[in-house]
Amino acid sequence: MAPVNFKYRRASLWGGGFLLAAAAALVMFHSALLRNIGIFLVVEETVAEPVDAVLTWTINEKVSICYRAGQCKKIYILLEDYQRSWKALRSFDVRGWHLKNAERLEISKDDLVFINNELGDAVDAGGYLRRLFAEREIRSAILLVPYFQTRTYRFFLDRNENWDPDRGRIFIQPLEKDYAEQFDCWWLNTGLDNLYLDQYLRIGWYYFNKLLLS
Amino acid sequence: MYNESTHFVWGSFRPSQTLSWSRLFMASFVSSQWIRSVCRSRFSRCGILAFLLYGLLVTSHRVWLPAFGDFLVLGERPVRSDLVVVAAASYSRVRYALQLVRTGYTDRLLIVGDTRIKMVPFGKTKLELAEQEAREEGISPDLLFIRHSTSTRHDARLAKQLMHEAGLRSATVVSDAYNMRRLAMVFDYVFRGEDMVLNYVHPTRDRDPFKSDRWWRFPDRFSYVVSEWIKFPVNFFLLPRGSS
């Protein structure tokens, strides 16, 4: 049997070696690791059959692709209330801007539905979506949100008691078509750092309050 | 050493039995023996301690958690200064900075912001919107300074550079309440050794007592407070190294 101090020294050596190897691996692979931390935030759910609606903040190429591929019947545009925001936005003709975009992307005006955005943040989205689905008799929809928020929306929708998955299906997809390049060295961009950290912390908020039993 | 005689057997006390003082005494004695037997193992002791600590933290969280939010807030009264510095990240602070200019606390306004991130769906940056609003408020183009910035340290450097160029001696820095502690640390570091006076203020409505005392209940506040607690030590250690 080995003496105690020898066993202790051997354990320390193993521990130190492991830490050193872990640190070296972290330095070597930090780009890939951090890139995957960013990519983890994106959820892009595949839609197998056409849905009743697309819920979006804006009409862009992604919406146009869905529409022209016959994946959706109606496009619901969530109109923001800018009355307490920047003055330039208060007087901005948001509807006109959306209609112009729709025309440019060859989307029929008859298939556009303007509704006030009461979605709030991802935490409260379930309740609003349930009401919307019931009022408009929607059975399935694609929800387009900024790419870095897709994971958070899915996370809270799966845990929201107000959302009943049997009443309808929601497919979450990124609003942007090209977002992959955003993950190249995002940690060197303070703006993206803050956006991505915020999403992780919002998910953390759920667990933190569970831990506090509140 | 583990003693068989002190080992508690749960089956020896049944709630259905008639409760009397002697039985209660026996039950408490046996329970204490059980706790003692469990506590003999270091692993169990640690587990019990951890459980007790968790219980204590959970039951008292409304007492100690607000302090984590309060620590970040550093609010001074607005005073007359040569320049107001504000980052265009949030509308409320820009409005407050414009209000300070309108009410005569200062004449000059420096707005800093990141020009790389454009707002959906308008394709404009917040810095552009802030500039437009400041012009509409009647701030003279000679007294309005717009700069691209990517971090708090960058903001501080730009403010210092402008104050040097214009020969200004004092500045009021406006930001959100929870951002104040870190912002003051960074600005004080960048302005160290300068004969310039800095004053830190935040919009008064940021200190909504209902939300401030329960910041962990609101996802946006939770995210703000925790991210500041992450950035504060990071900035503290990186500042002397010159990293932003």
Residues 120..149 of B with a Cβ closer than 8 Å to A: which? 120-122, 124, 126, 129-130, 132-133, 136
**Min CA distance, B244 vs chain A (Å)?**
9
Q: What is the DSSP letter of B151?
A: S
Domains in chain A: boundaries: 51-179
What are the tens digits of pLDDT across the range B213-225?
Answer: 899 999 999 999 9
Which chain A residue's Cα is nearest to B127? A86
- B73: closest CA among B167, B194, B212, B198? B212
> According to the model, what pLDDT value does residue B2 have?
44
- Which residues lie closer than 8 Å to B75 by C-beta, 6 or more apart? B177, B180, B200, B201, B202, B207
A128: tokens are 């609003």
B19–A contact, CB cutoff 8 A:
no
Whether the CB-CB separation of B179 and B55 falls below 8 Å is answered with no
Position B239 scores a pLDDT of: 81
Do residues A50 and A71 lie in contact, with contact meaning Cβ atoms separated by under 8 Å?
A: yes
| CATH topology assigned to domain B72-209 | Rossmann fold (3.40.50)
Average pLDDT, chain B: 85
Contacts with A, B 200-239, CB within 8 Å: 216-217, 219-220, 222-223, 226-227, 230
Residue B152 · residue B182 · CB < 8 Å: yes
Cβ proximity of A166 and A156 under 8 Å: no
Helix (H, G, I), strand (E, B) or coil at A186: helix
Instruction: Report pLDDT for B29.
Output: 76
Q: Complex ipTM above 0.85?
A: yes
pLDDT category of residue A82 using cuts at 50, 70 and 90: confident
Instruction: Out of A60, A88, A204, name the one closest to residue B133 (CB).
Output: A88
Measure the CA–CA gap between B98 and B11, rounded to whole angstroms.
74
Closest C-alpha to B136, from B102, B174, B89: B102
Domain with CATH 3.40.50.620 in chain B: 72-209
CA distance B129 to chain A (A): 7
Is the CB of residue B82 less than 8 Å away from at least one CB of chain A?
A: no
Residue of B nearest to A57 (CA): B121
- In tens, the pLDDT along B144-196 reads 999 999 889 999 999 999 999 999 999 999 999 999 999 999 999 999 999 99
Q: Tokens for B200, please give them.
A: 């830190």
- The answer, yes or no, to whether residue B242 has pLDDT greater than 80, is no
Contacts of A198 in chain B (CB under 8 A): 223, 227
What mean pLDDT is predicted for residues B3-8? 45
Over range A58-65, report the average pLDDT.
91
Task: Tell me what pLDDT residue A167 has.
Answer: 80
CATH code for the part of the protein at A51-179: 3.40.50
- The yes-or-no verdict on residue B244 having pLDDT over 70 is no
Q: Tokens 């200190």 belong to which residue? A: B207
